[in-house]
């Protein structure tokens, strides 16, 4: 007989090993427990040399009797029956993490609940060996030492500490965005290497995670949605890096959080990529964080053993909501004005100045109603053309410079996308010396093309936009060099858009501006270049030190 039942302790190690296989996995389990205990401050200290770590929180803590059983298998305070499984609001519920960690390391836990004294337990191989009172603030401190001391191989296969540290930082960043009110600190050998102060605004949290990102590169929205097919509310939080201001060299910051943790959800990711399509430069990726907080019944966590992937119920509904709301952020509405941050800051400076009664500052006259057209988009009045290239437009809060060629290119590109039309020609266009690949490419774009003699081809239908254009022949040759339909549309839009250097009348420019601001992605051209530069009155006011007029410069 060669098939034997494994001893219990081996079974346990294998089962534990599935979850706890690295420093990061221990940190994940412990900080998720801290979050479940409603902590608002979490401090993680790592000691890589000794394979030890500590997680301290100011959460609800544990009573003495809870502490005594916390590391037993399948012990949890989060669910009590199978019914509860469909109502889970916490990150944990299996009651296995502490038990698994205690099998792989030495664990001691100190904890205190409000209005009670604190207790410390020392454990050895999942049994509590000592328990005594301990002075501690409300909350919990868990020390894990000698991790994987009993499985040397696990230590060997773990990547070098630098890599593990990186993945811990990513983990904390993701959790910080999902739980924005929490303040975090990460220490290695007692040196602080990463800290995040909690703030309800993700635009304030994100620049702490990625130093190259500025507060003003980001737009944030909180949307309340009626949950489909049940009587409850869901919340969608969006943090979007505006495509004219920021993008990433890798797709490392397209993140989707669902009910408190970042997960993989390819179906929502694809919505993000399609909404950002042709807004960024080549090989650049969006920066976006989405957090959906919805009823547990909308989510099936059984797609991945570590809860890293999910299935969403009512998927098309959530996809549509996501698309709608990203598109709304891209619209040129008053609410989306990029320099609103500037305005706030300047207002604050003024307030301080007024309190000190040194300067007298009039509030800027802003009539928000006048600033909108009937579609809710910002009203831009063209006043001039500069260098035959820039359209100068003003609105009630400032002036914008719009590059005429790329604004027009954006209009044409979206028109081509919406109504791609191939029209028959009365007289075919004759091209010569085409390679078979070129003929194939034109055919793939649905153009009618046939052989007209030796080395001659007759093009019998072309994209409508190229009709009557002098450069039609060049355009066809360009299209024949390949690319998909989308690239063809970009190149036609670029070719047909008004060139820079062309003089335009005010009416022509007003037309361009009016059409451009209605496009879905007015911020960048299909190649990813920013289309406009806004100079808001508040920034100009500050730049020209207009608040000095009645103050400093007059010696008051």
Q: For residue 45, what are the contacts with CB-CB under 8 A and spacing of at least 6?
A: 53, 54, 55, 56, 187, 188, 190
Q: Of 241, 231, 346, 358, whose CA–CA distance to 289 is shortest?
A: 241
Cβ-proximal residue to ligand ADP, closest one: 92
Q: Which does 217 bind (CB under 5 to 8 A by kind): ligand ADP, Mg ion, none?
A: none
Minimal distance in Å, beta carbon 134 to ligand ADP?
A: 15
Q: Give long-range contacts, CB 8 A cutoff, 24+ apart: 348-353.
A: 349/542, 350/547, 353/547, 353/551
Minimal distance in Å, beta carbon 296 to ligand ADP?
A: 15
Residues binding Mg ion (CB under 5 A): 33, 92, 97
Q: Of 371, 391, 356, whose CA–CA distance to 513 is shortest?
A: 391
Distance CA 360, CA 550 (A): 6
Report yes or no: 140 and 109 within 8 Å, Cβ to Cβ. yes
Q: Which does 59 bind (CB under 5 to 8 A by kind): Mg ion, ligand ADP, none?
A: ligand ADP
Q: Which does 94 bind (CB under 5 to 8 A by kind): ligand ADP, Mg ion, none?
A: ligand ADP
What does the angle CA 414 – CA 416 – CA 417 come to, to the nearest 5 degrees? 65
Q: Which is nearer to Mg ion, 147 or 393 (CB)?
A: 147
Q: Which is nearer to Mg ion, 92 or 257 (CB)?
A: 92
Minimal distance in Å, beta carbon 92 to Mg ion?
A: 3
Q: Which is nearer to Mg ion, 33 or 339 (CB)?
A: 33
Q: Which is nearer to ligand ADP, 33 or 519 (CB)?
A: 33
Cβ-proximal residue to Mg ion, closest one: 92
Q: Which does 62 bind (CB under 5 to 8 A by kind): ligand ADP, Mg ion, none?
A: ligand ADP
Element (H, E) at 343: helix 340-355
Q: Which is nearer to Mg ion, 88 or 353 (CB)?
A: 88
Residues binding ligand ADP (CB under 6 A): 29, 33-34, 36-37, 57, 59-62, 70, 75-78, 92-99, 140
Residue 495 CA: distances (Å) to CA of 135, 138, 370, 414: 74, 67, 36, 14
Minimal distance in Å, beta carbon 97 to Mg ion?
A: 4
Minimal distance in Å, beta carbon 142 to Mg ion?
A: 11
Q: Which is nearer to ligand ADP, 61 or 241 (CB)?
A: 61
- Write the burial class of residue 292 (CB in 10 Å: 0-12 exposed, 13-18 middle, 19+ buried): buried
Q: Which does 93 bind (CB under 5 to 8 A by kind): Mg ion, ligand ADP, none?
A: ligand ADP
Number of residues in the chain: 556
Minimal distance in Å, beta carbon 356 to ligand ADP?
A: 47
Q: Which does 120 bind (CB under 5 to 8 A by kind): Mg ion, ligand ADP, none?
A: none
Q: Which does 61 bind (CB under 5 to 8 A by kind): Mg ion, ligand ADP, none?
A: ligand ADP
Minimal distance in Å, beta carbon 94 to Mg ion?
A: 7
Minimal distance in Å, beta carbon 141 to ligand ADP?
A: 9
Sheet of 191-196: strand order equals 127-134, 118-124, 106-112, 139-145, 52-57, 41-47, 183-188, 191-196
Element (H, E) at 90: none
Q: Which is nearer to ligand ADP, 47 or 93 (CB)?
A: 93
């Amino acid at each position: 007989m060669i098939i034997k039942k494994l001893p219990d302790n081996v079974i346990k190690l294998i089962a534990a090993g599935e979850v706890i296989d690295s420093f990061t996995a221990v940190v994940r389990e412990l900080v998720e427990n801290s979050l479940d205990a409603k902590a608002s401050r979490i401090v993680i200290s790592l000691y890589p040399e000794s394979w030890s770590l500590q997680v301290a929180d100011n959460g609800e803590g544990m009573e003495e009797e809870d502490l005594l059983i916390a590391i037993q298998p399948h012990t949890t305070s989060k669910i009590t029956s199978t019914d509860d499984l469909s109502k889970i609001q916490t990150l944990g519920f299996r009651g296995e993490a502490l038990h698994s960690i205690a099998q792989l390391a030495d664990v001691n836990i100190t904890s205190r609940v409000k209005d009670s004294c604190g207790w410390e337990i020392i454990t050895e191989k999942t049994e509590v060996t000592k328990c005594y009172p301990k002075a501690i603030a409300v909350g919990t401190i868990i020390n894990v030492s000698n991790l994987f001391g009993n499985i040397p191989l696990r230590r060997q296969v773990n990547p070098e500490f630098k890599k593990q540290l990186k993945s811990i930082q990513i983990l904390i960043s993701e959790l910080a965005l999902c739980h924005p009110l929490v303040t975090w600190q990460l220490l290695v050998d007692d040196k602080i290497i990463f800290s995040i102060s909690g703030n309800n605004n993700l635009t304030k949290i994100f620049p702490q995670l990625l130093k190259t990102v500025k507060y003003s590169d980001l737009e944030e929205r909180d949307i309340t949605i009626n949950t489909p097919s049940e009587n409850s509310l869901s919340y969608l939080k969006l943090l979007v890096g505006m495509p004219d201001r920021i993008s990433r060299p890798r797709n490392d910051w397209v993140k989707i959080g669902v009910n408190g943790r970042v997960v993989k959800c390819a179906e929502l990711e694809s919505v993000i990529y399609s909404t950002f399509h042709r807004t960024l430069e080549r090989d650049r990726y969006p920066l976006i964080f989405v957090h959906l907080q919805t009823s547990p019944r909308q989510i099936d966590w059984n797609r991945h053993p570590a809860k890293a992937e999910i299935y969403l119920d009512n998927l098309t509904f959530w996809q549509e909501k996501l698309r709608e709301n990203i598109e709304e952020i891209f619209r040129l509405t008053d609410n989306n004005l990029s320099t609103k941050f500037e305005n706030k800051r300047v207002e604050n400076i003024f307030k301080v100045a007024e309190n000190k009664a040194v300067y007298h500052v009039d509030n800027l006259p802003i009539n928000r109603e006048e600033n909108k057209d009937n579609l809710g988009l910002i009203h831009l009045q063209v006043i001039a053309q500069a260098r035959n290239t820039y359209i100068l437009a003003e609105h009630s809060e400032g002036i914008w410079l719009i590059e005429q060629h790329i604004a027009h290119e954006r209009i044409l590109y979206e028109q081509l996308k919406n109504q791609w039309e191939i029209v028959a020609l009365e007289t075919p266009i004759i091209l010569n010396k085409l390679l078979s690949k070129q003929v194939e490419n034109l055919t793939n774009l649905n153009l009618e093309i046939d052989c007209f003699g030796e080395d001659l081809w007759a093009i019998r239908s072309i994209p409508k936009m190229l009709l009557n254009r002098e450069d039609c022949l060049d355009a066809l040759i360009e299209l024949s060099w390949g690319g998909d339909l989308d690239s063809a549309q970009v190149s036609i839009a670029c070719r047909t858009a008004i060139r820079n250097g062309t003089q335009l009348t005010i009416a022509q420019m007003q037309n361009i501006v009016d059409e451009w601001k209605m496009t879905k992605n007015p911020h960048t051209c299909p190649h990813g270049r920013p289309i406009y530069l806004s100079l808001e009155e508040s920034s100009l006011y500050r730049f020209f030190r207009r608040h000095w007029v009645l103050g400093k410069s007059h010696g008051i």
